[in-house]
Amino acid sequence: MKTVRLGNGSAYWGDMLDPAVDVAAKGDIDYLGLDHLAELTLAILQRYKNKDPKYGYIPDLIPWTKALLPITHEKGITMITNAGGANPEEGARQVMEWARAQGRYQGLKVGTVGGDDVFGKLDELEAEGVQFVNMDTGEEGLDRIRDDIVAANAYIGSEGLLEALEAGAEYIIAGRISDGAPFVSALMHEFGWRFEDGYWDKIGGAITIGHLLECACFCTGGGSNQWREAVDPWKIGFPIAEVNEVPEAVITKPPDTGGIVNQWTVKEQLLYEIIDPHNYYMPDGVADLGGVTVEEVGQNRVKVEGFQGKPRPGTLKLCIGYEDGWVAEGLLLFSWPDALDKARRAEGIVRKRLKHRVNVEPEEIRFDYIGVNALHEETAAPIEGEMNEVGLRIAARVRTRKEADLVRREATHLWTLGGVGTAFGVPFRPRPVVSLWPTLVPREAVELQVKVEEV
């Protein structure tokens, strides 16, 4: 039975490069998927593009290409990435320019997939009756945020990737494809699956397998309750899936890499970000995880099967990023004795100064006591006895940069107004807030743009 080997080389912008090199060099893979985007990354990248049309793709695209393409090209591995971000065309142009300069990649076919950017179509879609209901709050319509919108990108699936693969693309640079689309498209292309009746269980399996791979080391012992069992995490391996056309999959990692793959690491990732396990909605279909079974079949080898799926939805998720004020932030450290009492006193000072002296009323403000409740908040256990030190993080969201600058300066004032023994304080630079408006648009509102060129 035919088997396709899929490897993942990135889970986010800024992920480690060396495990991706290990997957490509040691993993005996056919496809390498690389995910670089989070939900608001496109808003950040669009701002870069607005300043200079030569930017807007993930900066990691070029160093990742330089490190990986020599390996993938030699071994015949197809690479698929969403590092094109807000500007896949320019990202692909930069990649091809570098490849041509090397003199060894003539004939390499590079594909680009875009069309996810619907910023310029929002008014048209609204006129056609799209309500843009906020999936988190229920708020309807964009009137409140219209003037502050900086980006609007839909999650697209595998259609454009399939078109590029069928045209012979060996390296595909896409925009806001779904995190698992590189793997779904690879399996659909290799096994001839189509978006029609008779294939939805198989596509549901591909979506589930892609979900297991997309977060990289999350299923190989990173960010896991299995951290004590994960060996040599400093050289952790990224995941590989061996997939047949049933489909059934074995999740593993490259030889001589750190981490661990066992039933628990796979189950942790299987349930990660899942709200309804019977309806995991993706652009390519709906995965039903209810019948999935997980079984250890060897050292660092876990078999996953029992996949089910449903037809793909008629809508696509649309992430609208909009400017939403400014964040002011500061960090203070208070030392023994009475470290916690000093930090609490400092909070009171800041609150009173903002209200009575600075005349700033933040839209949101929080005080986190590092070492006490910064992670667990109100569920944190009471502190008993003296502490060596306590950190106080002050964070506020305000309307203007001027207000943010006033708030952040309060961290410096605590050098003298706080309790004796303050070690140091850092007021961070104000930064703009880009908030997310998650909503849905009709699938037909997104027109894919696919191009394949030779180096």
Q: What percent of the chain has pLDDT over 90?
A: 95
pLDDT at residue 17 in the model: 98
Q: What is the pLDDT of residues 348-400, one digit of tens each?
A: 999 999 999 999 999 999 999 999 999 999 899 998 889 999 999 999 999 99
Q: Which two tokens stand for residue 8?
A: 């993942």
Q: Which two tokens stand for residue 164?
A: 């590029």
Of 23-37, 290-304, 336-350, 404-418, the poorest mean pLDDT is in 404-418
Cα–Cα distance for residue pair 96/100, rounded to 1 Å: 6
The candidate with the shortest Cα–Cα distance to 388, out of 351, 340, 420, is 340
3-state helix, strand, coil in the chain (%, to 5): 35, 30, 40
DSSP letters along 64-118, please?
A: HHHHHHHHHHHHT-EEEE-TTTT-HHHHHHHHHHHHHHHTS-TT-EEEEEE--B-
Cα–Cα distance for residue pair 281/313, rounded to 1 Å: 8
Angle, helices 61-75/88-102, rounded to nearest 10 degrees: 60
Whole-Å CA distances, 2 to 5, 202, 242, 322: 10, 15, 10, 46
Cα 126–Cα 129–Cα 133 angle in degrees, nearest 5? 75
Q: Identify the residue whose tokens are 């309500």.
A: 131
- Strand 78-81 to 171-174 pairing: parallel
Q: What percent of the chain has pLDDT over 70?
A: 99
Cα–Cα distance for residue pair 115/118, rounded to 1 Å: 7
Distance of CA 305 to the CA centre of its chain: 26
pLDDT at residue 54 in the model: 93
pLDDT at residue 102 in the model: 96
* Mean pLDDT value of segment 309-333: 96
Cα 163–Cα 165–Cα 170 angle in degrees, nearest 5? 140
Q: What is the pLDDT of residues 200-259, one digit of tens each?
A: 999 999 999 999 999 999 999 999 999 999 999 999 999 999 999 999 999 999 999 999
> For 14-79, where are the alpha helices, taking DSSP H only?
18-26, 41-51, 61-75
Cα–Cα distance for residue pair 118/141, rounded to 1 Å: 16
- Show the domains of the chain with their CATH numbers: 3-116+155-313 (no CATH), 323-434 (3.30.70.100)
* Side chain identity, residue 149: I
Cα–Cα distance for residue pair 320/434, rounded to 1 Å: 10
Taking the complete model, does pTM exceed 0.85, yes or no? yes
pLDDT at residue 423 in the model: 59
Q: What is the pLDDT of residues 69-114, one digit of tens each?
A: 999 999 999 999 999 999 999 999 999 999 999 999 999 999 999 9
Q: Which helix (H) or strand (E) holds 243?
A: strand 240-244
pLDDT at residue 229 in the model: 94
Q: What is the pLDDT of residues 396-453, one digit of tens each?
A: 999 999 999 999 999 888 888 877 656 567 789 999 999 999 999 999 999 999 999 9
pLDDT at residue 422 in the model: 64
* Mean pLDDT value of segment 312-340: 95
The candidate with the shortest Cα–Cα distance to 9, out of 213, 175, 156, is 213
